[in-house]
Amino acid sequence: MKIAVLHGPRDLRIEERNLDTTLAPHQVHVKTQISAFKIGTDRGNYEGAEAVPGAPDYPRPVGDSNLGIVQAVGSAVVDLQPGDRVVSRAWHQSEYVADPQLNLVKVPAGIDAEDAVWAHLYTLSAQCYRKALFTPGENVAVVGLGVLGLGAVALGPFLGARVIGLGNHPGRLAMATKMGAEAAFLSDDVDLAQKLDAFTEGAGVDLVILTANPWPAWRTACQVVRRNGRVAVVALPGRGEDALDFNPLSMEWFYNKGIALIAVCGQGGYLFPTPGADRFDGVRGCTHTLSLMARGLSPSRLITHRLPYTDMALAYEMAASRNKEMLGVIFQWPEH
C-alpha cells in the first residue's frame, strides 16, 4: 500500500508499505478511492508550525478525510459488506485496515463521492453549532472562509441559521454566498459594524464560528459578536503566527461584553444527553451530515483542484504559498 508521510517541514513523501489484511473480528479492509485535503491544520504540520498537543511527531502520516470501498470485513462486522462505500478519518493512503476508532461510516446510495468525502470535516463544522447550543433563527457569522468555515456556512441554512461570511478575499466571499451565506463582507471593511447591524436588524451577531488561526481573525470574532454572545473556536489561534500586538482576552472584547469563548473539541453541548452515550458522536454526527447531503448539502461546490495522489506535495506547496484560489482539493488514488 502507498501512504503519504511527512518526515519534516516541507518533506512529504509517498511511501510503499506492507499491509497485513488479516482481519480481527471488528476490522474492515478498505481501498481508497479519493481523499480530501484539510488545508488549515495540515498546512501548519507541513510548514513545521507549533505542534498540536497530542499530535504525533515527524515522521507522521497526514490527512483525515478518506472515501473508499470495502474489500472484506471481520467476522463480527454486521453493518458493512464488500462493495460498500465508506468514509473515515483514515490518512492519505491507498488502502487500510480500519479499527472502530476511525469512525467508519457507510455512504448511502445516491450521494456523490466528492460530496461524501467531506462528511467528517463537515461534521466538525456542525459541531461548532452543537457545542455552542445554537438556536434556530440566530444570526451566525463565520470568520475564516476556508474549507472548514465554508462547511459551517453551508450547514447554516439546513440548521436554521442566518449566516454571514467574513473573510479577507473577494473570491472567498463569493464562494460563501454560493455555499449559502445570506451576506458576506470583508473582515476589514471600515463599515463592517454598520453592515452587520443592518443585516441583523439591530439584534447583533449571536454566534461567531471562528475557523481561522491568525490572531487578527480572533480579534474580528470578538469584536463583531454581540454582548453576551458566544464565539465557537474551531481554529488553532496563533499557530504559526508572529508574537501578538494586542491582548487576545482584552477586557474590552471579552469581559466587558460577557462573551462566552467555546473550544470546539470533544463532546458537544447537549441539554438532553442520551444515557451512557454521546448522541452526536463521530459516527452519529457523520451519519446526520450524510443525510443532509441527500437533501442537497453539496460540499463538492468548493472543489477547486482534483489531483492524482502523486501530486500531493504540489498541493501542500500551493497551500503553503497561501494561494487564495485554492479551496477544496481532492486526491485520486486508483491507479489506471
The pLDDT assigned to 336 comes to: 45
The helix/strand/coil state of 225 is strand
The pLDDT assigned to 186 comes to: 98
Amino acid (1-letter code) at residue 272: F
Predicted confidence (pLDDT) per residue in 60-105, tens digit: 999 999 999 999 999 999 999 999 999 999 999 999 999 866 789 9
Cell representation of residue 311:
501530486
Cell representation of residue 131:
457545542
Other CB atoms within 10 A of residue 105 CB? 25
Q: C-alpha 133: how far from its chain's center?
A: 19
Does position 28 have pLDDT exceeding 80, yes or no?
yes
Does position 285 have pLDDT exceeding 50, yes or no?
yes
Task: pLDDT band for 237, please (50, 70, 90 cuts).
Answer: confident
Domains of the chain, CATH where assigned? 2-120+298-332 (3.90.180.10), 133-263 (3.40.50.720)
Q: What is the mean pLDDT of residues 158-173?
A: 96
Other CB atoms within 10 A of residue 175 CB? 24
The pLDDT assigned to 203 comes to: 97
| Cβ contact 120:112 at 8 Å | no
| Cβ contact 142:209 at 8 Å | yes
Does position 271 have pLDDT exceeding 90, yes or no?
no
Task: pLDDT band for 269, please (50, 70, 90 cuts).
Answer: low
Q: What is the mean pLDDT of residues 258-264?
A: 93
The pLDDT assigned to 259 comes to: 94
pTM given for the model: 0.92
Classify residue 322 by burial, with Cβ atoms within 10 Å: 0-12, 13-18, 19+: exposed
Amino acid (1-letter code) at residue 323: N
Does position 274 have pLDDT exceeding 90, yes or no?
no
Does position 57 have pLDDT exceeding 60, yes or no?
yes
Does position 115 have pLDDT exceeding 50, yes or no?
yes
Provide, rounded to the nearest whole percent, the portion of the chain with pLDDT above 70.
98
Does position 38 have pLDDT exceeding 80, yes or no?
yes
Q: What is the mean pLDDT of residues 251-257?
A: 88
Task: pLDDT band for 132, please (50, 70, 90 cuts).
Answer: very high
| Residue 281 vs residues 212, 285, 289, 291: alpha-carbon distances, Å | 24, 6, 12, 15
Task: pLDDT band for 130, please (50, 70, 90 cuts).
Answer: very high
Average pLDDT across the chain, whole number: 92
Q: Which of 89-93, 251-255, 303-307, 328-332 has the lowest mean pLDDT?
A: 251-255
Report how far residue 149's alpha carbon sits from residue 254's, in angstroms, rounded to the nearest whole number: 22
Report how far residue 244's alpha carbon sits from residue 272's, in angstroms, rounded to the nearest whole number: 40
Report how far residue 248's alpha carbon sits from residue 245's, in angstroms, rounded to the nearest whole number: 9
Cell representation of residue 301:
461546490
Does position 294 have pLDDT exceeding 90, yes or no?
yes
Three state DSSP letters for 63-96: CCCEEEEEEEECCCCCCCCCCCEEEECCCCECEE
